[in-house]
Structure 1
Amino acid sequence: MNKKLIISKSLVFIFVVAFVVGFKSIFGDENTLIGITTITATLMFLSKDLTISPIRNSIRLILLNLFIGICAMIALSNIWLGIVINFIALFTVSYTLCYNLETPMYFPFTLQYLFLLSAPVNIDQIPKRLLALIFGALFIMLAQIIANKNKMSKSGNKILISVCNAITSKIESMKGKSKENTDIDIESNINAFRKMVYDKREVEFYLTEEGRIKLNLSVALESIYTMLKVIDKSDDVLYIINNLEQLILDTKDVLEGKDIKTDLEKDIYEFLSECEKRNISDLLTLQLLDSTILLKDTLQELKNLKKENYNLVKSIGDIKNNGKIKYMSKNHKSLKFCYAMRVAITITFGAFITDLFNLSEGRWIMFTMLSIINPIYEISKGKIKDRILSTIIGSIIVFILFNIFKDTTSRSLILMLTGYISGYLKEYKHSTICVTVSAIGSAAILGDIGSLTLNRLIFVALGALIAIIANKVIFPYKLKDSNDELQAIYKGAVSDMLREIKNVAEGIKQPHGIKNLLIITSLVEEKLKVNNQILGINSYDKLIKEERFLVTNIYELYIWIIREKVNPKYVKYILDEINQLIEYKNEPIENTIEEIKANIREIKDLRTKITLSSIVIILKELRKISDIKIAV
């Protein structure tokens, strides 16, 4: 454990304690739990960037919190009305904040709803409770503005610089100057960067100018690195990488905020002129050249982009006509729907039992259900044993400690120390022990520990039992279902990307659409990797890599065409070849590929050579992916 981590965790813990204490002093003891869920949500949301639309997102968070607060008050007014209201509230929160491709954000808000059900207030205290909820929403947004204002420039640039370093290392290795550094996971880093671009979109579609340019940069850098790993050294390749080496250094300097002396426009012109003289015909060399040109063009754009225009959004294209990229399944078999229904039905039942039998500690039934019910069955299954065992261990620990230390000060210190230790624990079973100590300890700090410990164990066991049954029979959703849904999303995104190529070749430009599609494929890949790791299978790894290579080439071809790099003389011929990409149905394409390769050798125009090489590589990848799917 390094010193920086200890300092960081300690500062976060001090801040959390100070916030909760301050929240309690302003809004009273009855609203302390809102303070806890607010700080939990604040820390969770820091992984997302909501700063592109602070006012809109603030209003959304306020409305969500008020919806939760008002629903809880209505549900508490009548046990039978509560069944309907609890179901509506729990379904709405779970469905809205459960995502296919991102980290779900439902937990703090669902927990807040359960806290409000467990801690009702009098009529005269309602205004203060609503104010506490509004303040909580505004605080989440304030933290966003402070922490994530320039997230893409700070954290994002570091990721892109690390990729530049990996490319430099690869080039030096190819030249025999040094050994290649293979420690960096390029794909995961690029995906993390694209997630930042994805978060910072206007109306969940339009990219900022910074996001648009740096997304292109990420594509160029990844493609270059991929090509360098598989390409054979030749005179043409060595010429390209000699130019590329300085270009990568310039890219790093621009990302680090330094001025560069290179005249990029002149450099690009001279570079292309020499490449045209060389009459390059090798497919991979042409693709390396394509990616190098994209990097040069993109770097020129980034260099000229003023910082005050980083968050500028150019709303080109109609969202409605482009479908707003409906990558999320909205039927009754989707992850969102299945999870929302399961949570709503199960916890509504738990709340009904608690009210019907007037169980003073019945909230632990609901808390346990929320903890164990996960969107995916296999993950829920693994949590059940850990939850029960950790609750028993935590109960024993707090029982022993509170029988030794009986004064309020000592017990408070124990709870604070437990909260601090939990910040270092990543495994669910370990963190649950700390949660149990904190929960029982907080309730028993001034009273008897024995009855509380026994009651909690009984209610946790009951909640776990109900959750086990719910996971199996109420809208079950397994990893296989998730993989099927993700593959369908991916297939749809690739098909849409191919259609976008045809559209742009015909003069119909929707640049934001294909950028969204590219990012979505990256998010799907990361999710599939996690799912397959849980399942313990690696047979899909090769498929994911090939699909990623395909998507990168489709995107580069689109950018190549939209930047008017296609020779007008060959537009009709290229359109015919693009139609073959869209209409590909696993049929033999060897003759088509050989015909295009022959044309590449005959044609002297470099721009057309690059365009045709992209089409050939995409066709070959479509065929290869089809073969892999049959084998898998």
Structure 2
Amino acid sequence: MKKKLIKTAVLFISIVTFIALFAMVFGSANLVIAISTVFAILIYLSKNMTANPIKNLIRLVAFNVVMGIVAYISSINIFLAIPIDFLTLFMIASALSYTISSPMSTPFSLQYVFLISFPVSLEEMPLRLAALAASAVCIMFVQLVVNKDSVKKQSKIIIPEICSGLENKISNVKNNLNDELVDCKIKAYISRLKQVIYESRKDNYYFNNESEIKFNVLIALENINDLLSRLKKDSEADAFLDEAVALINSFKRSVKDCDVNQTNHLDPLFDAFFQKYNLDNTKDLVMMKLVYQLQCLSDYLNKMKKSDQINKKEITKNEQRTNNFKSTKKFKVKLSIDPLSRSYAFRLAFAISVFAFIVNYFNLQHGNWILFTISSLTYPFYEISRQRTGKRIFGTIIGGIIVIILFSFLQLRDAGIIVMVITLFLTIFFMDNYTYSMIFSTITAISSFVLVENSTNLSLDRIIYVIIGGACAVLLSKLVLPYQESDAEKDLKKMYDEIIVGFFNDIGSAQNYTDDFKHKIMNFMLFTGMIEDKLSALIKVSNAEMITSFIGVRHALILNIYNEYRWLLANKNCIKDYKNICQDISKNDKYRNTENDEQLIGEIISQYSLKNKVVVWESIEIIRSMNQLDLFKRASGN
């Protein structure tokens, strides 16, 4: 609680200071731009824009300035404003709807609503455009301060947390304890670091050396987490886990200390472990895979040592845009789910353009709150709009009642500034609780007008307009181009299977083992992680088992395919033999029947050596999963 209070206080002081300075420089007429800038800064902290800072800054400045010019043209004529507002908001919302749960377009669509709600004269336009340009500069400045070298900063925090989670999971496995909570925590950290790596790509595609190494470390840890749940419990496994946890702990400390060059003493520890549990002596296939992944961690530790001597920012290939780039871009666009983006954009643009006309035509005092409500409550899914509307209306009513009590019954009109400051602080403090934040933000907004308006009427106005705006958002989500969570679930599942089939088709082709193809595979792995996160967000009691099963099977499959790729990348001379083995496995029914596993394991152990054991068994698991999911026949050449 103390830490949260301090964090809230720092954020509160920063926001108030920024808004005050912005208003001093650009005038009170552009105060709304300061507010939308704060909103954009907070929302976009989750999106790293520092990989291409100059390019992104130019885009932001141009985007904001053009938005200001268009908003001014819209303010000239209320009838002309209808098509202008519609087209502008449609383009903003459809172009920037990168995520399902919280569209990245929200701060900019809200900014446009601010601009058309508080227009300026032609004489004031230069200052407004300067304010919009300054807004873009502020967004980029905070990006550089917070998100610069984000992979390095976050890896130092997150990877040790994942390792600690694995240590706890090993303890639970040994003691036959439920590890569901630990497992969820590990997966959450893995998902978080994947998002950081995804956002750090240059040109939304390329990975530098450091990102590549940290990504492969993350995949190795993810494999270890999955394999621990499958390890058979016996005395040999207990002894193995005791030594494995020591390696994981050592690896954790090396990453946490962020000085891998001082960890040479770890090499003998790793060597002794691999000598004892080498893949020739180990009979358990799950244990073999664990040994292999721990070897990968050791290799990546050595790569991290070497990376200190080279430029970590260096892109590991020629940055020419290739067919691989285009194929991944297709899925990047799809991650916004085209039907969802279009339906969301149409509903938002239609509602704002129509109600902006009504507010201006009838000159409704404070009617702009209808627009603010529609902008904040129009979500991609009908279900989210419905839930948020209820909470917003409830919060607004409670906040309105509190304002009436404070300023009408208690006659605290002179305390308006104090009330505003306190409630703004509480709004920030309860930012993660929508209902509470709406109560306090309502009091803050209304208090700003208390000194010059009748507080009771103003509160009632706000409540009425919020109800109108909320009802409009829900009805449009329900009736106009409706897109529900079930539609998103269907589209996401289809997309996941398309990536798997494409991944499988590419993996056995020798011509694909280039640096550029490496970037493509890493992008695909991150895409599947994002799809899993989005599907998990759609889980309800009615579909929990189905979605969990869908993710589980495909997650294991995609990890196996990526492990095959990494093995082939290190053994390119074995690609032809690998394809022959895969063809043999796919055509021989004995490999598909789990009843033959004991015999198959014996054959693999006797016929293959070292890492080949792992890759052969993973080939069997891949073919089984592809057949189980009815995907194998969709892969080319089969």
1:580 is displaced (CA, Å) by 7.7
Match of 2:634 in 1: none
Aligned partner of 2:218: which letter? S
- 2:534 maps to which of 523, 527, 532: 527
1:16 is displaced (CA, Å) by 0.7
What's the CA shift string for 1:473-504, capped at 9, x where partnerless? Answer: 21111000111111122112212221231125
Match of 1:386 in 2: 391
Stretch moving more, 13-22 or 543-552: 543-552
**SS of equivalent to 2:523:** helix
Alignment CA distance shift 1:606-1:183 (3 Å): closer
- Whether 1:112 and 2:111 are equivalent positions in the alignment is yes
Match of 1:251 in 2: 251
Asked if structure 2 preserves the Cα contact closer than 8 Å seen for 1:501 and 1:578, the reply is: no
Asked if structure 1 preserves the Cα contact closer than 8 Å seen for 2:209 and 2:313, the reply is: yes
Gaps of 5+ in 1: 628-632
Cα distance in 1 for residues equivalent to 2:172 and 2:460? 64
1:379 is displaced (CA, Å) by 0.8
Cα distance in 1 for residues equivalent to 2:584 and 2:434? 50
Asked if structure 1 preserves the Cα contact closer than 8 Å seen for 2:399 and 2:442, the reply is: yes
1:405 is displaced (CA, Å) by 6.3
Match of 2:619 in 1: 615
1:309 is displaced (CA, Å) by 2.6
- Whether 1:517 and 2:524 are equivalent positions in the alignment is yes
> In percent, how many aligned pairs have the same letter?
29
Match of 1:630 in 2: none
What's the CA shift string for 1:149-197, capped at 9, x where partnerless? Answer: 2332223322110121233344556677999896461111101110000
1:132 is displaced (CA, Å) by 0.5
Aligned runs of 1:497-576 on 2, under 5 Å? 497-504=503-510, 507=513, 510-533=517-540, 537-564=544-571, 568=573, 571-576=575-580
**SS of equivalent to 1:206:** coil
Match of 1:482 in 2: 488
Match of 1:96 in 2: 95
Alignment CA distance shift 1:317-1:10 (3 Å): closer
- Whether 1:375 and 2:377 are equivalent positions in the alignment is no
Alignment CA distance shift 1:100-1:18 (3 Å): closer
- Whether 1:27 and 2:39 are equivalent positions in the alignment is no
Stretch moving more, 191-200 or 377-386: 377-386
Match of 2:200 in 1: 200
Match of 1:344 in 2: 349
Gaps of 5+ in 2: 632-638
Cα distance in 2 for residues equivalent to 1:463 and 1:213? 49
What's the CA shift string for 1:343-365, capped at 9, x where partnerless? Answer: 11111111121222222322122
What's the CA shift string for 1:59-99, capped at 9, x where partnerless? Answer: 12212211221111111112222112101110111112212
- Whether 1:589 and 2:592 are equivalent positions in the alignment is yes
1:103 is displaced (CA, Å) by 4.3
Match of 2:450 in 1: 444
Cα distance in 2 for residues equivalent to 1:56 and 1:478? 36
- 1:321 maps to which of 298, 312, 323: 323
Root-mean-square deviation (CA, aligned residues, Å) is 3.2
1:408 is displaced (CA, Å) by 6.2
Alignment CA distance shift 1:182-1:109 (3 Å): closer
Stretch moving more, 495-504 or 239-248: 239-248
Cα distance in 2 for residues equivalent to 1:313 and 1:396? 58
What's the CA shift string for 1:450-482, capped at 9, x where partnerless? Answer: 332333333333323322321112111100011
**SS of equivalent to 2:453:** coil
Asked if structure 2 preserves the Cα contact closer than 8 Å seen for 1:325 and 1:516, the reply is: no
**SS of equivalent to 2:330:** coil
Stretch moving more, 225-234 or 109-118: 225-234
Stretch moving more, 380-389 or 597-606: 597-606
Alignment CA distance shift 1:160-1:624 (3 Å): farther
Match of 1:399 in 2: 404
Stretch moving more, 86-95 or 318-327: 318-327
Aligned partner of 1:410: which letter? A
- 2:473 maps to which of 446, 455, 467: 467
What's the CA shift string for 1:412-453, capped at 9, x where partnerless? Answer: 111111111112223322222222222222233323223323
Cα distance in 2 for residues equivalent to 1:117 and 1:494? 46
Match of 1:218 in 2: 218
What's the CA shift string for 1:327-355, capped at 9, x where partnerless? Answer: 23399962211111111111111112122
Alignment CA distance shift 1:300-1:238 (3 Å): farther
Cα distance in 1 for residues equivalent to 2:111 and 2:178? 53
Alignment CA distance shift 1:605-1:75 (3 Å): same
Cα distance in 2 for residues equivalent to 1:289 and 1:610? 10
Stretch moving more, 212-221 or 364-373: 364-373
**SS of equivalent to 2:544:** coil
Alignment CA distance shift 1:506-1:88 (3 Å): closer
Alignment CA distance shift 1:618-1:318 (3 Å): farther
What's the CA shift string for 1:369-397, capped at 9, x where partnerless? Answer: 11221111111111222233322222222
Match of 2:229 in 1: 229
Asked if structure 2 preserves the Cα contact closer than 8 Å seen for 1:66 and 1:134, the reply is: yes
Asked if structure 2 preserves the Cα contact closer than 8 Å seen for 1:339 and 1:374, the reply is: yes
1:281 is displaced (CA, Å) by 4.9
What's the CA shift string for 1:314-333, capped at 9, x where partnerless? Answer: 23686441113422339996
Aligned runs of 1:10-21 on 2, under 5 Å? 10-21=9-20
**SS of equivalent to 1:230:** coil
Asked if structure 2 preserves the Cα contact closer than 8 Å seen for 1:502 and 1:579, the reply is: no
Match of 2:299 in 1: 297
Cα distance in 1 for residues equivalent to 2:95 and 2:237? 50
Aligned partner of 1:247: which letter? L
**SS of equivalent to 1:334:** helix
Match of 2:187 in 1: 187
What's the CA shift string for 1:541-592, capped at 9, x where partnerless? Answer: 233223222222211111111122x6x4x643421344589x89x9993399
Asked if structure 1 preserves the Cα contact closer than 8 Å seen for 2:247 and 2:269, the reply is: no
Stretch moving more, 22-31 or 245-254: 245-254
Report the count of equivalent residues: 621
Tell me the TM-score normalised to structure 2 length. 0.89
